[in-house]
Amino acid sequence: MSKPYDPQDKYFKRAKEQGYRARSVFKLEEIQQKFKILKPGRDILDLGAAPGSWLQYANRIVGPKATLVGLDLTPIKKIKPNVILGQLDIFSPEAIVFIERKHPKKFPIILSDLAPKTSGIKEADHYRSIELSEQVVALAKKFLTPHGTIVIKVFQGADFGLFIIKLKKIFKQVNVFKPKASRDRSFEVYVIIKN
């Protein structure tokens, strides 16, 4: 979920010019340029998808034959016919049922730009971010294909190192990346995981 727009932000201006819903699209663009995770025809599960800019960008690469499923607590405006949207909590049993009904197969790509509602208390926000990230991993164990890729936004803090160690025990390749499009003051990073 993205922060409100700042009209002075160069990424905000670029997003508006290019028809994207949020500046966060350029974080995914940088991840794509470096790691080449999105490929034509690959289905995608996007967790924390509102307002939909990651789905917009990903859909332009994977194309109309791919199915994209996006979930968020906040409603997302319709994007394209092959993009299925649900207003659901990723911790709820309803979210699992929704994903299974809308896409019975597993996904080769799971994206998560999830962030907690920030309190301004760095450690509290970090712990909540880790909790969200662990739920993404739990869902990936159920819905990711054997050679799939996961992208997870995580707030750095005391438990970040431990979270990365846990990931390395489960997955083959784990990379930490901070896009230039992330705000300077932000302590978010993206973890790119290859199964």
Which residues are identified as catalytic?
153
Nearest to 59 by CA among 86, 95, 32: 32
Element (H, E) at 15: helix 10-18
Q: Which amino acid is at 26?
A: F
Nearest-angstrom CA–CA distance, 115 and 118: 8
Peptide bond into 75 cis (omega under 30): no
Nearest-angstrom CA–CA distance, 67 and 148: 15
Q: Give CA 101 to chain center in angstroms.
A: 21
Residue 147 tokens read as 């050679």
CB 82 within 8 A of CB 102: no
